[in-house]
């Protein structure tokens, strides 16, 4: 398996923009304003406007779920014990590569 830093960062900023355009949180499945949640932490102060392969590990998350993951990880995993973040990363990257448009509601996770 390749390390994430060996992947190309081409298209990473476009992927982040696409993620921001989604309307459903990948974690709680609620329709709320979305922000990219990086599964591989980018870090505070990191340039989010610079291409980076770690951007391709972002999934759409609302502020509540994103904050809970960082500030109360035990509670986060208690609330979402079956969530597989890497499966979500794979699914959203696949959707992005296949469509590069916001998926209709019937294509989103049930």
Which domains, and CATH codes, for the chain? 4-40+48-94 (1.10.30)
The neighbour count for residue 50, using CB atoms within 10 Å, is 10
pLDDT in tens, 9-49: 567 888 888 899 999 999 999 999 999 999 988 776 666 67
Give pLDDT, residue 50.
Answer: 79
Banded pLDDT at 2 (limits 50, 70, 90) = very low
In DSSP notation, 5-32 reads GGS--TTHHHHHHHHHT--B-TTT--B-
Give pLDDT, residue 109.
Answer: 53
pLDDT in tens, 55-75: 899 999 999 999 999 999 999
| pLDDT beyond 80 at 81 | yes
């Amino acid at each position: 398996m390749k390390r994430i830093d060996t992947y190309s960062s081409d298209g990473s900023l476009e992927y982040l923009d696409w993620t921001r355009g989604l309307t459903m949180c990948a974690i709680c499945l609620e329709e709320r304003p979305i922000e990219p949640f990086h599964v591989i932490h980018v870090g505070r102060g990191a340039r989010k406007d610079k291409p980076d392969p770690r951007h391709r590990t972002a999934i759409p998350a609302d502020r509540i779920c994103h904050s809970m993951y960082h500030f109360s990880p035990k509670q986060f995993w208690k609330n979402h014990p079956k969530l597989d973040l890497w499966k979500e990363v794979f699914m959203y990257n696949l959707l992005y590569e296949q469509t590069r448009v916001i998926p209709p509601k019937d294509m989103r996770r049930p």
